[in-house]
Amino acid sequence: MIINKNNIDFDKISNLIIEGSTFCYPTDTLYGLGCRYDNKASIEKIISLKGRNKNHFFSLLFKDINMLDYFFSISELEKKIIDKFLPGKLSILLLPKNKNMFYNNFIGLDDKISCRISSDNFNKEIYKKIDFPIVSTSANISGNKNLFDISDIIDTFEESLDFIVDYGDIGYSKGSTILNVNKDGLNLIRDGDIQFETIIKELNYGKS
């Protein structure tokens, strides 16, 4: 099912997500494949669709800092990063308060989970209706280039997903910049739309 941005019923979409649908949706970087974070069958379906190695870990999308606070132990530096750059084109690895609340598909480096808060309007509207994290992984086949044209995304995934939200072509993106804070300080895990040098400067990091 294709849902055009001019005919969006957010109540219907949120109900489909709550029920466990797999779907494709826009973010402030790339189109993502998603489902609710606690539906094992839907998660396994997305792994299969992407042809992804189970040792690769999915990111999760959250509503706001309050939702992050509920699930994660957040250090002073991590909170500073979140306050400065989220919502936005950045992901940060955070340590869950209780790992048992998450499937192993999300637990990665340093036993942390990659977390995002997207700044786009679609996700802002969805999070007025739902109160749980959703899977956020790029809408492409693992190992292949990212897909930016909605027609390519539809051709690739229409037959396999429960629905696709068509917001048109959303433009080029490198994806979110991924950061991790550990005992060695602030580390760049993946380069993305926000340059690491910009993050260092904005945080005034490393300066006394």
pLDDT digit string, tens, across residues 150-182: 999 999 999 999 999 999 888 889 999 999 999
Residue 53 has pLDDT above 80, yes or no: no
Residue 208 has pLDDT above 70, yes or no: no
Q: Predicted confidence band at 63 (pLDDT cuts at 50, 70, 90)?
A: very high
Domain 2-203 falls under CATH 2.130.10.30: no
Q: Which long-range contacts (CB under 8 A, 24 or more apart) does 118-122 make?
A: 118/27, 118/28, 118/29, 118/61, 118/87, 119/28, 119/87, 119/88, 119/89, 120/26, 120/27, 120/28, 122/5, 122/25, 122/26, 122/27, 122/165, 122/167
This prediction has a pTM of 0.91
Q: What percent of the chain has pLDDT over 90?
A: 78
pLDDT digit string, tens, across residues 122-155: 999 999 999 999 999 999 998 888 888 899 999 9
Q: Predicted confidence band at 55 (pLDDT cuts at 50, 70, 90)?
A: low
Q: Bigger pLDDT: 19 or 108?
A: 19
